Amino acid sequence: MTNSNSCWAVVPAAGVGKRMQADRPKQYLPLLGQTVIEHTLQRLLGSGAFQAVSVAISVEDPYWPELPISQNPAVITAPGGKERADSVLSALKALEGKAHEDDWVLVHDAARPCITSGDIQRLIASLAQHPVGGILALSSHDTLKQVEGDQIVATINRQQIWRALTPQMFRYGMLRQALQNTEGNPAVTDEASALELLGFRPSIVEGRPDNIKITRPEDLELAAFYMEQQA
Ligand code: CTP
Ligand code: MG
């Protein structure tokens, strides 16, 4: 296992974007002249880090085939699943016969279009020798409270709490096995949690705060602002 292992990107993009309350899934909303998912995929492809990008798309999705990037030879389309973890597992299966067991896979939300090449390269460099892998994460600047009802019952040690971002970087074989073993478990809300449940201890690598996930309507403007700042 060396850093000469190939890297592959997996992009879950089969969500409906309920919290966005738009007329289409949020990955197809316009952002600075393109759709959100086009920005995300261009940034992944533009990083030069990946052999290919495997994208999970809902089977009923009419928007994806209309995008030129869906025809890019470095882009593989896989059927999406019920939950995010199902979509990721499906996109991993689509890499079968291409990715080796020990190759690295970086899973990145389609809804995070502000990802930078710098963060991708730093994650890969930081974890290249790691036995398990890890994720980009953000520390909390605010004091954190544990609450029951509307009452504060404790103040949580901020040093111990990090917010999980993507990309999340793991070995192809290990990640696939972990997601298969935890299929249907609602506690698996990201890739790291699947490995944690099997007793592994993924690392965190501090990410940029502008790597936001577009979730609610106001996030689109924020993403546009960050992208303009980055340029
Ligand atoms: N995702 C997916 N398959 C699912 C659910 C989510 O591929 N069954 C993807 C989304 O498309 C998104 C990423 O996982 O890129 C993160 O999920 P989230 O932000 O929750 O997106 P949605 O599920 O689409 O949004 P919402 O939860 O508001 O409905
Ligand atoms: Mg969701």
Indicate whether residue 18 lines ligand 1 (CB < 6 A): yes
Indicate whether residue 15 lines ligand 1 (CB < 6 A): yes
Interval between CA 173 and ligand 1 midpoint (Å): 23
Is the pLDDT confidence value at 212 over 70?
yes
Indicate whether residue 90 lines ligand 1 (CB < 6 A): no
Indicate whether residue 59 lines ligand 1 (CB < 6 A): no
Residue with tokens 């999970």: 56
Taking the C-alpha atoms of residue 46 and residue 15, their distance in angstroms, rounded to an integer, is 24
Tens digit of each residue's pLDDT (9 = 90 or more) over 1-32: 444 689 999 999 999 999 999 999 999 999 99
Specify the pairing of strand 7-12 against strand 53-57. Answer: parallel
> Which of 10, 11, 16, 166 should be mutated for ligand 1, with most atoms under 8 A from CB?
16
Q: Which listed ligand is nearest to 88 at the C-alpha?
A: 1
Interval between CA 17 and ligand 2 midpoint (Å): 7
Taking the C-alpha atoms of residue 134 and residue 168, their distance in angstroms, rounded to an integer, is 6
**Cα four-point dihedral sign 65, 70, 72, 77:** negative
Indicate whether residue 82 lines ligand 1 (CB < 6 A): yes
Interval between CA 66 and ligand 1 midpoint (Å): 20
CATH 3.90.550.10, domain 3-230, yes or no:
yes
* Average pLDDT taken over every residue of the chain: 96
Q: Which of 191, 229, 188, 193 is nearest to 211 (CA)?
A: 229
Tell me the whole-structure pTM to 2 decimals.
0.96
State the virtual CA torsion across 193, 198, 203, 204 in degrees, nearest 10: 10
Tens digit of each residue's pLDDT (9 = 90 or more) over 107-123: 999 999 999 999 999 99
User: Which pLDDT score, from 0 to 100, does residue 2 have?
Assistant: 44
